[in-house]
């Protein structure tokens, strides 16, 4: 029997949230519903989700802040925003965060289900098969265990996700070379569409934080072309 995809729904409107939860469940999803941003973050930390559906305007923690926290915990979980506001700035902010979609209220529930299904299909196509390479890479002052997906700097260890690890391996294997964005996307995401590109930008930002303790390591972006993983 196929396992149901698990949705984290963050929506503070009790009437709307309750109806939406029921409709998503009728459509074949498992749904965990949180009524504010802080509750949603707590549930995300305790569960495993296929996708997050986040209202933008919520008490205690808004949807944008919640998305940033989710990305810090697991950048591989796709998410989309629900909002009653049609401001262009909000949409741009959401997409810059790496959102897979942005749905303006009011909307048809069928439309939301289709958007969720499309995102999940896209995510499945982007799944990365972990390479057979099983070694410890010495990257500047860091060591990266490709099997355990642990990046070590001194006594500090950082556990990476599978895709983060794949991206590190690909960049390291092409270090000190200018790489086109499409090359990286096709190698690690198996897709070079807009949403994959937004996802890659989020991952690159995280890698910059991971390697920040060694100034000899730089991930330099070349506008309109790609980037270079420099080790001096």
* Secondary structure of 208-225 as H, E, C letters: HHHCCCCCCEEEEEECCC
- The whole-angstrom separation of Cα 158 and Cα 199 is 20
Closest residue by Cα to residue 51 from 134, 136, 119 = 119
pLDDT at residue 125, rounded to an integer: 58
Pull the structure tokens for residue 17: 């949230």
| Bridge partners, 217 (sequence order) | 231
Domain-located, residue 131: no
Q: What is the pLDDT of residue 101?
A: 84
Instruction: Please check whether residues 140 and 217 belong to one and the same domain.
Output: yes
Q: Looking at residue 147, what is its pLDDT?
A: 87
Compute mean pLDDT per 10 residues along the chain, 232 residues long, and list them.
83 92 93 95 92 92 92 86 78 78 86 90 61 76 92 93 89 93 87 78 91 95 90 90
Residues 120 and 145 reside in one and the same domain: no
Q: Look at residues 100, 125, 150 and tell me which one is the last residue of a structural domain.
A: 125
Number of domains in the chain: 2
12 lies in the same domain as 90: yes
Domain encompassing residue 222: 136-231
């Amino acid at each position: 029997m196929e396992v149901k995809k698990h949705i984290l729904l963050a929506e503070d409107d009790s009437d709307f949230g309750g109806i939406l939860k029921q409709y998503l469940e009728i459509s074949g999803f498992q749904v965990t519903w949180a009524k504010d941003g802080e509750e949603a973050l707590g549930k995300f930390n305790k569960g495993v989700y296929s996708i997050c559906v986040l209202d933008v305007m919520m008490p205690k923690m808004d949807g944008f802040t919640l998305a940033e926290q989710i990305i810090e915990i697991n950048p591989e979980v796709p998410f989309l925003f629900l909002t009653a506001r049609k401001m262009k700035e909000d949409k741009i902010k959401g997409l810059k965060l790496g959102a897979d979609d942005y749905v303006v209220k009011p909307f048809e529930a069928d439309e939301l289900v289709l958007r969720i299904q499309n995102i999940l299909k896209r995510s499945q196509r982007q799944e990365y098969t972990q390479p057979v390479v099983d070694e410890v890479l010495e990257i500047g002052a860091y060591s990266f265990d490709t099997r355990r997906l642990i990046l070590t700097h001194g006594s500090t260890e950082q556990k990476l996700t599978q895709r983060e690890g794949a991206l590190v391996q690909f960049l390291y294997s092409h270090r000190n070379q200018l790489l086109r964005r499409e090359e990286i996307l096709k190698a690690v995401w198996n897709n070079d569409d807009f949403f994959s590109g937004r996802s890659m930008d989020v991952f690159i930002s995280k890698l910059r934080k991971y390697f920040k303790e060694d100034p000899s390591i730089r991930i330099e972006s070349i506008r309109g072309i790609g980037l270079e993983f420099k080790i001096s």
